[in-house]
Chain A
Amino acid sequence: MAENDETAHESLTIKQQREKRRAEKVAALKAKQAKEKRNRLIGIVAGATAGLLIVGTLVAVVVTSATPPPPTSQNLTAAERAALEIEGLEIFESVEGLHVETPVAYEMTPPAGGPHHPRWLNCGTYEQEVPAEFAVHSLEHGAVWVTYDPDLVTGGDLDALRSAMPRTYMILSPFTGLDAPVVASAWGAQVALDGVDDPRLVDFIIKYRQSPTAPEPGALCSQALDGEGKIS
């Protein structure tokens, strides 16, 4: 084959040889250009990839650490409202669960924590006033105690209040001498309400019934003292 080539080569005219050399130069130049182009593209892609990996990592960090923005809308669920501060909420930080068998002068009306009787009041709905020293023990077990002024809350209002109570860890009872129609109390927390349809009642119950802020949530609220007039 080589001989044939040589023979062919010798047989080429000068012009043909020049053409061939030129074609070889062009091919070499094209190869060089292609190589440069490839290197340039590799450089761009590598640079872009590195840059975008940084962007991706930043996005990952943001997604990981993102917290939902605080709700500002009026269109909140009851649970979301309860998670916010309840307007008019009173907090009593210093209440302590001492057991006493004597009457206690509580710092707030109705009592929302403090010394209490060793027996707790069984949770439920009462038609009559209940002994406060026993009810406070139930608050320690994570109950919410809803009290109402028996002169102001009657009839349909009282029925509505009774049916708004969750099945367990709730005490509902009349209480004379309230400063508001309805007052809801939990261990160390209380809110005075404008009436049975005050939305803060639901918010308070959601926030405090069986709340970890009570010393012993989940301890029984039955099998101790059944007060007078317990109807459910």
Chain B
Amino acid sequence: MTTTSVAPSDPALAAPVRRSRLIVVIGLLVLVSLTIGVLVGRVTSSGAPMPSEASAEAGFARDMQVHHGQAVEMSLLVRDRSDDAEVRLFALDVATAQAQQQGQMFAWLVMWGLPQTSSSDEMEWLSRPVIDGSAGHDGHGGHTPGEPMPGVATFEQMQALQSATGVDAERLYLELMIEHHMGGVDMAEAVLARSDDPVVTQLARGMVQLQQKELDYMAELLAERP
């Protein structure tokens, strides 16, 4: 007689079970398809989300353009004030390389839909969190968010370079540019600690490598001009 209990003559008991199971299945399918939809949407939109107004990437792109701008300016100044082939060629190298990098950073901001001018203080982007969260390797070389950029020559130092000539101009240029490059390396390392944007980190890594090499070369040139 036990066989009769599963016969179709007992729908009142089986139907609610079946219905609740169906609801669970549909619910799960809704979740899965929504998740897939959002993921597909994310992937097919534009890869990673674009850096925002307050991002380390935008702050770096703005401050580093200004920083590079002064390197270009100092390099052009020394070329007009020295006839030394080595220093003039080095200055031409710095001016053209950094002007080209300024253009890259300008274009990032245009593509991110952000203005070239920040709405916050210089280096405020140092307050953005570092990616790996490790203390002691935050890469900002002891700088404080919102403090002026590291390595930038003062108005008076620029005036002095402007009025110097010959070996004096070469020496002052090298001294100022060594400070400038050290600040530049700090800034590039600071964004490397805070960004995983492939375009930004590629350029920043290149800056660190190149400017460190140029620091060694400038130390040699300076040593030859006691």
CB distance from A160 to the nearest CB of B (A): 15
- Min distance, Cβ B214 to any Cβ of chain A, angstroms: 21
Q: How far is the CB of B157 from chain A (nearest CB, A)?
A: 12
Whether B66 contacts A167 by the Cβ 8 Å rule is yes
Asked whether B8 lies within 8 Å of A78 as measured between CB atoms, the reply is: no
In the assembled complex, B30 has its CB within 8 A of some CB on chain A: yes
Q: Are B115 and A82 in contact (CB under 8 A)?
A: yes
Query: Hey, what's the 0/1 contact readout for A168-201 against B, CB within 8 Å counting as 1?
Result: 1000000000000000000000000000000000
- Are A79 and B41 in touch, CB under 8 angstroms? no
Q: B29 — which chain A residues lie within 8 A by C-beta?
A: 45, 48-49, 52
In this complex, which of B32, B38, B69, B72 has the most chain A Cβ atoms within 10 angstroms of its Cβ? B69
Per DSSP, chain B at the interface is: helix
Whether A48 contacts B42 in the complex (CB less than 8 A), given A59-B34, A218-B103, comes out as no
Residues of A within 8 A of B30 (CB): 52, 55
Q: Which residues from 182 to 229 on chain A have a C-beta closer than 8 Å to any C-beta of chain B?
A: 202, 205-207, 209-212, 217-218, 220, 222-223
Within 8 A of B (CB), among A41-76: 44-45, 48-49, 52-53, 55-64
| Cβ–Cβ contact B37 & A55, under 8 A | yes
**Is B135 part of the binding interface, using a Cβ–Cβ cutoff of 8 Å?**
no
Tell me whether A80 is interfacial, beta carbon within 8 Å. Answer: yes
Q: Considering the chains assembled together, what is the distance between the CA atoms of A205 and B6 in angstroms?
A: 80
State which residues 7-63 of A face B: CB under 8 Å. Answer: 23, 26, 29-30, 33, 44-45, 48-49, 52-53, 55-63
CB–CB A56/B36 < 8 A: yes
A166 to B118, CA, bound (A): 9
Minimal Cβ-Cβ distance residue in A for B46: A64
CB–CB A63/B42 < 8 A: yes
Min distance, Cβ B180 to any Cβ of chain A, angstroms: 14
Q: Report yes or no: A223 in contact with B41, Cβ–Cβ below 8 A.
A: no
The verdict on A26 contacting B106 (CB below 8 Å), with A82-B119, A168-B69 known, is: no
A210-B41 in contact (CB<8A): no
For B, the interface residue count at a CB cutoff of 8 angstroms equals 44
Residues of B within 8 A of A52 (CB): 29-30, 32-33
A4 part of interface (Cβ distance < 8 Å): no
In the complex, per-residue mask of A64-105: 1 if CB is within 8 Å of any chain B CB, else 0 = 100000000000011110110000000000000000000000
Most buried by B among A58, A167, A205: A167
How many Å from the CB of B161 to the closest CB on chain A?
A: 11
B20, CB-defined interface residue at 8 Å:
no
Residues on the B chain within 8 Å of A154, using CB? none
Q: A55-B33, A60-B44, A80-B53 are in contact. Are A33 and B8 (CB under 8 A)?
A: yes
Which residue of the partner chain, among B8, B34, B40, contacts A55 with CB atoms under 8 Å? B34
Minimum distance in angstroms from A19 CB to a CB of chain B: 11
B219 in contact (CB, < 8 A): no
A232: interface (CB < 8 Å): yes
Taking a contact as CB atoms under 8 Å apart, the answer to whether B73 and A220 are in contact is: yes
In the complex, the answer to whether B41 meets A64 with C-beta atoms within 8 Å is yes
CB closest chain-A residue, reference B4? A26
Apart from A207-B117, A210-B65, what 5 extra A-B contacts exist at CB < 8 Å? A29-B7, A60-B37, A60-B40, A63-B37, A202-B119
Q: Which residues of A contact B (CB under 8 A)?
A: 23, 26, 29-30, 33, 44-45, 48-49, 52-53, 55-64, 77-80, 82-83, 142, 166-168, 202, 205-207, 209-212, 217-218, 220, 222-223, 232
Can you report 16 residue pairs joining A to B where beta carbons are below 8 Å apart? A45-B25, A49-B29, A55-B33, A56-B33, A56-B36, A56-B37, A57-B37, A59-B33, A78-B119, A82-B115, A82-B119, A167-B152, A209-B115, A211-B115, A217-B116, A223-B77
